[in-house]
Structure 1
Amino acid sequence: MAKQAPRFKYYAQNQMSLIPHSLDDFIPKLHPVRIINTVIDKLDLESLYDSYAKCGGVSYHPKMLLKVLIYGYLNNVYSSRKLEQACLENVHYMWLSGMSYPDHNTINRFRSSKLKGYIEQIFTQIVELFIEEGFISIEEAYIDGTKIEANANKFTFVWKKAIANYKEKMVQQILEIWGYADSIARQESELPPPPDFKKIDVDTITQAIDTLNAALKDNPDIDQKVKNKLKYITKEYPSKIKEYQEQEATLDDRNSYSKTDNDATFMRMKEDHMDSGFLKAGYNVQISTNNQYILSYSIHSNPTDTTTLIPHLEKFKENYGVLPTAVIADAGYGSQENYTYLESEDIAAFVKYNTFDQEQEQLSKKPRKNSKQDTKPFTADKLFYQHNGDYFVCPMGQQMHYIGDIIRTTTTGFIQTLKQYQAKNCQGCPLNGICHKAKGNRTIEINFELQRYRKQANELLNTKKGIDKRKQRCHDVETVFGNIKQNHRFRRFMLRGKEKVAIEWGLLAIAQNIRKRAA
């Protein structure tokens, strides 16, 4: 009996089709690439088109490049070279590009230059489309921030404190030589007093050096070591001071920056692979979300969240013309300035303050394991206050009376007023040293306005609506960051500079929203 041959499906690599295939035939009907195509086709991109030159060579269509970029960020393809390769090999990119083959320079130039000033408009239009479809509401905004590493060398840091120390050492060196020169000059002529160096700049340093050189010039009795030191100072210090001044101008109100990305600040990163909290150059990215869609985003060089809330909400207002009616955020945003702003804008502030969780644990019948115990029973917030007489009662039952106000200004220029109250006869008190450790009578500073805001926030957060909002925040805004950083492995920006970083995050935000829409 003849052995039966195996059967295979027909295979002819060079077989021609009577009717050529269309790339559209290879794209499933509900594929995310179709959603990107549909959404981008609905946008008004005239302002982006107008940014192109009206004469010269023919450019790739910006709508096509935008689609390719967004689809790349949707699929964790962030490199312009990999996007170039995908347009040659991947049927989805080929369908989006209409069989155009932009090279990596074109893609990168479009991303870093052409989208500057337009990406936020594009993002806002897409959000408004989803609002019309009923997927998003801008009434409630869940706000949080995360730190993303910058594309910068971690060893190219500049620290404000280090600059101040270097400048002080330079002044000290000049004053030492000044003292030596003064002792020499007494034998012949009077040397003027040294500058006060209240402002250590190029002019002050140069004038001091010139005075020293004139005083010690042609004097054969000068110590050779002093001569060499003065020669070094004359050559190096003016240029060094100029460099420090330029660095201080770049720092502005920051404590550090990177030389390879001047807009990046050194921050402690949670995602450090060594779990050591290593400082890296990065950006503080703030987003507001609703139903896990990103409503707005902002990029900050300040590592703390406290000072980012107001500029973030102002950008929200700039994009949509209105502010949300409710803001839900964690304790990192619970400052007096933020509460004041939210109240002035008539926004419901579901915003924790720094001791809220600890207070909730203490009120709970079953505190969590390893929770912080109250080791400071005599702090000012635990003292009884008598409104009628405007005084506090110390732990020994003595009255602490009002003695005056203290005005403080925050780094953002916000003015706080604190009232001071002072006790009497603390020296012979049996609790002296336990109640407080300062010398003399105990003095406390009370910010009644902040206390009022905290009381309002506590009451609002403990309503049924407030409890629901607190629970919702954890799996609304934090989930978005987790998805981008963990699932889609975006933990480091590829572009440098705050403007370009904003473009890159804008593409990520658009991709996140379309990804959520396609889910």
Structure 2
Amino acid sequence: MSNQMITTENYNTQMTLFPETEEKKLSKRPLAPTFKPYDNRQIQVIFDIEALIPEHHVARVVDEMVESVPDELLFSHYKGGGRSSYHPKMMLKIILYAYSQKVYSCRGIEKLIKENIPAMWLAAMQQPDFRTINEFRGERMKSLMDELFEAMILKLIEENYITMENYFLDGTKMEANANKYSFMWKKSTSKLEAKLREKIQETLQYIQELTQLEARTAQKEANEDPEITEQNLEAIAQKLEEKVEILTEEIEQESDTKVRKEKRAERKKWKKPLKLIRENFLPRLATYKEQNEIFGDRNSYSKTDKDATFMRMKEDHMKNGQLKPWYNVQIGTENQFILFYTIHQRPTDTRCFIPHLEKLASTSLPMPKTVIADAGYGSEENYVYAIGDEKEPRFDFLIPYGSYVQEQTRKYKKDIKMRKTGPIVKRMIVLFARMEEK
């Protein structure tokens, strides 16, 4: 069978076998686009702004929560008289709602109640400026915050959301908004203060060597207060000033040039310790006294935030164990509700356990039946506190000690050396040591 040659004629013939498709004819009449009516200049009346807020919106939660607070609790922080104030419930609502939207500045809150519909509804279309918001948050809200928090917890107990039976305690550290290089160390301050007191003793010795009278006075002052207080130095400075005034009068009355020169040299000797006491010793003693009061039982604080303590964080992003100003926040929870919180200046959770529960006991909230915490709170002192007296037991607790998990391992149980140095033996050694000291 021979191959058929495809010629131009045959090709054209084959192409004509397919049906011809007619091109779609476009309509000659143009169609205009359609839109929904829009005119932002038209007057619109909103009869109920609440209808624009979804049913389960956070603004409704804030509104219901604040409305449940008794008016007497809020009104007690107003002394009355003068110009009418914005209602405290309205101010609380807009601040709490702004916090839920991550808006914390007063100007941001002012902008929110002008542009955000839920904020407008909570404010009832009122528009307090940022100064009013700042005054309420900085003064009134600061004083009523603890009472407001307790009222909300009691409301949750009443509504059976929480029972205060199981109290889960844990701590977290929050970095302070302070300069991390503005640290002050108690050890360094003590060394500088000790050196200053040595200089003061040298100056007092110098004064004693000037005349026998001033030597007895200075020695008497030093013996009365070996700590060298500001009052002590102030008394000595006053006597030196009297001596300098006497010499100045004698110089003015003296006509002999040689004698005047000798008296000026003598006055210079008295002016030297007087200048040291007035311009150096007294200001520095006052500074160290103020610093020691700020330290308290701490070892450090920040100059830009004196309440913050420098702590070493294990999760530091630089992985170099850098010391930074932090706060230790202790929080008790139940059923995902925060029941109570305290802020501490101590770096370890062990030392925050007793102060936290003591502050909880001082409030109107009921004490928990059982406290649950991790091994960071396990210490002999905390266990003894939780047990309380035989007549008045405080509460049950579920707090393991530091080596509890290690003691449950097979390796630990088989190792005789580890058992001999276990936590029970260590506690017995500590107790016997205390008994011997007494």
Q: In the alignment, is the contact (CA less than 8 A) between 2:222 and 2:228 conserved in 1?
A: no
**Could you say if the C-alpha distance between residues 11 and 168 of structure 1 is closer, same or farther in structure 2, counting changes exceeding 3 Å?**
same
1:232-311 aligned at under 5 Å gives the runs 232-269=276-313, 272-311=316-355
**Could you say if the C-alpha distance between residues 321 and 33 of structure 1 is closer, same or farther in structure 2, counting changes exceeding 3 Å?**
closer
Which range moved further: 281-290 or 195-204? 195-204
How far apart in 2 are the matches of 1:230 and 1:302? Answer: 42
How far apart in 2 are the matches of 1:239 and 1:28? Answer: 63
The correspondence for 2:406, drawn from 333, 344, 358, is 358
1:508 aligned partner: none
Query: Are 1:68 and 2:116 an aligned pair?
Result: no
User: Which residue identity does 2:399 align to in structure 1?
Assistant: V
Instruction: Give the TM-score of the pair, scaled to structure 1.
Output: 0.63
Q: In the alignment, is the contact (CA less than 8 A) between 1:265 and 1:281 conserved in 2?
A: yes
Q: In the alignment, is the contact (CA less than 8 A) between 1:342 and 1:349 conserved in 2?
A: yes
1:104, CA displacement in angstroms?
1.4
Q: In the alignment, is the contact (CA less than 8 A) between 1:201 and 1:245 conserved in 2?
A: no
Query: Are 1:52 and 2:78 an aligned pair?
Result: yes
Q: In the alignment, is the contact (CA less than 8 A) between 1:201 and 1:242 conserved in 2?
A: no
**Could you say if the C-alpha distance between residues 184 and 320 of structure 1 is closer, same or farther in structure 2, counting changes exceeding 3 Å?**
closer
Q: In the alignment, is the contact (CA less than 8 A) between 1:145 and 1:286 conserved in 2?
A: yes
Q: In the alignment, is the contact (CA less than 8 A) between 2:330 and 2:352 conserved in 1?
A: yes
**Could you say if the C-alpha distance between residues 5 and 124 of structure 1 is closer, same or farther in structure 2, counting changes exceeding 3 Å?**
same
1:9, CA displacement in angstroms?
2.6
**Could you say if the C-alpha distance between residues 336 and 213 of structure 1 is closer, same or farther in structure 2, counting changes exceeding 3 Å?**
farther
1:505 aligned partner: none
Query: Are 1:115 and 2:141 an aligned pair?
Result: yes
Which range moved further: 38-47 or 90-99? 38-47
Which range moved further: 72-81 or 151-160? 151-160
How far apart in 1 are the matches of 2:80 and 2:423? Answer: 73
Query: Are 1:381 and 2:429 an aligned pair?
Result: no
Query: Are 1:201 and 2:229 an aligned pair?
Result: yes
Q: In the alignment, is the contact (CA less than 8 A) between 1:87 and 1:94 conserved in 2?
A: yes
How far apart in 2 are the matches of 1:119 and 1:384? Answer: 44
Instruction: Using the aligned pairs only, state the percent identity.
Output: 38
Q: What SS does the corresponding residue of 2:357 show, helix, strand or coil?
A: helix
1:207, CA displacement in angstroms?
6.4
The correspondence for 1:28, drawn from 32, 54, 58, is 54
1:7-406 aligned at under 5 Å gives the runs 7-17=34-44, 20-176=46-202, 195=222, 199-205=227-233, 231-269=275-313, 272-344=316-388, 345-361=393-409, 377=417, 381=421, 406=433
1:318, CA displacement in angstroms?
3.5
Q: In the alignment, is the contact (CA less than 8 A) between 1:258 and 1:264 conserved in 2?
A: yes
- State how many pairs are aligned: 383
**Could you say if the C-alpha distance between residues 122 and 382 of structure 1 is closer, same or farther in structure 2, counting changes exceeding 3 Å?**
closer
Which range moved further: 164-173 or 262-271? 262-271
User: Which residue identity does 2:286 align to in structure 1?
Assistant: K
Structure with more contact order per residue of length (Cα contacts < 8 Å, sep ≥ 6): 1
- Which structure has the highest helix share of the two? 2
How far apart in 1 are the matches of 2:139 and 2:187? Answer: 35
Highest Rg: 1 or 2?
2
User: Which residue identity does 1:165 align to in structure 2?
Assistant: K
Structure 1 unaligned spans of 5+ = 366-373, 393-401, 407-416, 421-519
Q: In the alignment, is the contact (CA less than 8 A) between 2:331 and 2:342 conserved in 1?
A: yes
Question: CA deviation digits over 1:176-220, x for unaligned, max 9?
Answer: 55667778889xx99959947852432455567789999999899
Q: What SS does the corresponding residue of 2:333 show, helix, strand or coil?
A: strand
1:499-518 aligned at under 5 Å gives the runs none
User: Which residue identity does 2:126 align to in structure 1?
Assistant: S
**Could you say if the C-alpha distance between residues 221 and 98 of structure 1 is closer, same or farther in structure 2, counting changes exceeding 3 Å?**
closer
How far apart in 2 are the matches of 1:336 and 1:383? Answer: 10
User: Which residue identity does 1:91 align to in structure 2?
Assistant: I
Structure 2 unaligned spans of 5+ = 1-27, 248-261
Q: What SS does the corresponding residue of 1:117 show, helix, strand or coil?
A: helix
**Could you say if the C-alpha distance between residues 280 and 88 of structure 1 is closer, same or farther in structure 2, counting changes exceeding 3 Å?**
same
Q: What SS does the corresponding residue of 2:37 show, helix, strand or coil?
A: coil
